[in-house]
A and B are shown apart, each in its own frame.
Chain A
Amino acid sequence: MEALFTANNVWMMICTALVFIMHLGFGFLEMGLTRQKNAINIFFKNFFVITMGILVYYLIGFNLMYPGFSDGSPGIIDFAGFGLTLPGGEAIDYADGGYTYWTDFLFQAVFAATAATIVSGAVAERVKIEGFMIFSLLYVAIAYPIVGSWQWGGGWLSQLGFHDFAGSTLVHSVGGWAALMFVYFLGPRIGKYENGRINALPGHNLPLAAAGVLILWLGWFGFNGGSILSAEPTSTSLVLVNTCLAASAGAIVAFIVAKLSFKSFDLTMFMNGVLGGLVGITAGADQMNVIESIVIGGLSGVIVVYGITLLDKALKLDDPVGAIAVHLICGIWGTLAVGLFGNLAGGAQFLHQAVGVGVIGLFCVVSAIIFLFITKYTVGIRAKRDYEIQGLDCTEHAMDAYSDFQTK
């Protein structure tokens, strides 16, 4: 029993490290898909998100997300106090021998920060750095843990029968809704939409963005693999197989759809297909068989390409990295897919999934709007116009990403 506990905990710590490295993946992806003049700014935001995220999650997030709802509680909001307090009793009893209290905290903390990182990519290149900091702090401290408590903390959604294995909705859509609201209130980058024309603002380092996507995929082994919450052999290995099949199917379908629509082999759409497939399978990776995973991933590949085009061309929402299509739209799809495919499929389950998607969506939109208004009327959300034109690196940060490097 002691040996199994150790093995379980080691696996959960490995998964924690894998989720942590996703922040490098997000950083590379965002930096590669944006322009050279904002590369420092991207990494500054991402450093802030992971460091602030862990501290704030320590201070209030963890106990807001896992308050230990008492019996008969409506399971909407509760708080178990500031900071971390090691619960009494043997360590092995904490989570039925799946992991220790400390592993639990750190695994959840690196998860929490990913929600804010999703926002970072969507608002890149024109967001005011102080505004982004305040918004992401409020969002990670308050909105993310409350939503999380409804399901993973044992609140009303889990009592209802909602299923979100590793966070298609609880992490990805929660981040995606905030990204959508932020992009809507922020407006597009200067030069993106001019006189009815849609301009491309090509990213400056696609090879690095590609590395970022592969790092994110690697991180997903921990994101989904760790969400079993132990090293139970059958479940963890099936989840990893499903995860990889969905990512591959999403990617292949996305590049084919992009080739048919735009007549070119678009690497960035191929990469977004990987991420769409990963987000899509995240809600039901433990409930699907391999064929269903391929179908869910493949449809995510279609959704992500049309989602990006819809946002960019029809809705004129400027999302430099495609975060809204990947995390919000594929997150919603993946959550609903749990009611359509796999062990839980059925009308009632689909309804529960839809309720979860809808209520969480509403909560995220309302809280994002409140936080955005707080931010807008204190420090502001949009960078100064001439800062944006010159680039945020040399204005906000007073440094170049590639000094002494030949530039175009």
Chain B
Amino acid sequence: MKKIEAIIRESQFLKVRDALKDLGVKHFTYWDVTGVGKEKQPHVYRGVNYESLAISRRFISLVVSEELLDEAINAILDSASTNEVGDGKIFVLPVEKSIRIRTKESGTSSL
């Protein structure tokens, strides 16, 4: 089992969600995050120019079986890309154990 963490644009979120759904990923979690990065967001407020330090992105987190890993990564790569600076990043981490609380089953079947 591997955990995929991806930071994506909010605007690409629905595409990513649908791509993962087509792959058979039944559930995942996400939350809105703020970070700093290369992207410049020019702002003007009452005649004063400034760059917003805060860049908004959506963070998604899912755990998949080894067989599904490459497909899931590719699905995110395809659906999250706009080819502009700031498309985000994907991280893959090993997962030691997974348990479904209601049935207490563990392993891939609990995902």
Which of A's residues lie within 8 Å of B, judged by CB? 198-200, 202-203, 258, 261-264, 266, 268-269, 305, 308-309, 312-313, 322, 408
Contact = CB atoms under 8 A, between A and B. Distances in A.
A269 B47 CA distance: 9
20 contacts: A198-B48, A199-B48, A200-B43, A200-B48, A200-B50, A202-B43, A262-B44, A262-B47, A262-B49, A263-B44, A264-B44, A266-B47, A268-B45, A268-B46, A269-B46, A269-B47, A308-B46, A308-B47, A312-B46, A313-B47
Nearest to A199: B50
Interface string B31-42: 000100000000
B11 to A, nearest CB: 19
A262 B34 CA distance: 27
A261 B46 CA distance: 11
A125 to B, nearest CB: 15
Interface residues of B, number: 10
Interface of B: 34, 43-50, 54
Contacts of B49: 200, 262
Contacts of A305: 47
Given A408-B34, A408-B54, A322 B44 contact: no
Contact of B48 (A263, A312, A322): A312
Given A266-B46, A312-B48, 12 more contacts: A200-B44, A200-B45, A200-B48, A200-B50, A258-B47, A261-B47, A262-B49, A266-B45, A312-B46, A313-B47, A322-B46, A408-B54
A199 B51 CA distance: 10
Q: Which of B34, B46, B47, B54 has the most CB atoms of chain A within a 10 A radius of its CB?
A: B46
A312 B54 CA distance: 24
Nearest to B51: A200
Nearest to B56: A408
Contacts of A200: 43-46, 48-50
A197 to B, nearest CB: 10
B43 to A, nearest CB: 7
Q: Which of B34, B44, B45, B47 has the most CB atoms of chain A within a 10 A radius of its CB?
A: B47
A408 B45 CA distance: 18
A96 to B, nearest CB: 46
A313 B46 CA distance: 11
Nearest to A306: B47
Contacts of A198: 48
Contacts of A268: 45-46
Q: Which of A200, A308, A322, A408 has the most CB atoms of chain B within a 10 A radius of its CB?
A: A200
A390 B109 CA distance: 49
A212 to B, nearest CB: 16
Contacts of B47: 258, 261-262, 266, 269, 305, 308-309, 312-313
Contacts of A202: 43, 45
By Cβ-Cβ distance, the 9 closest A-B pairs, closest first, are A200-B45, A200-B48, A200-B50, A264-B44, A202-B45, A309-B47, A262-B47, A262-B44, A268-B46
A185 to B, nearest CB: 23
Nearest to B48: A200
Contacts of A258: 47
A254 to B, nearest CB: 11
A286 B44 CA distance: 38
A308 B47 CA distance: 9
Contacts of B45: 200, 202-203, 266, 268
A13 to B, nearest CB: 37
A146 to B, nearest CB: 34
A205 to B, nearest CB: 13
A258 B45 CA distance: 11
Nearest to A202: B45
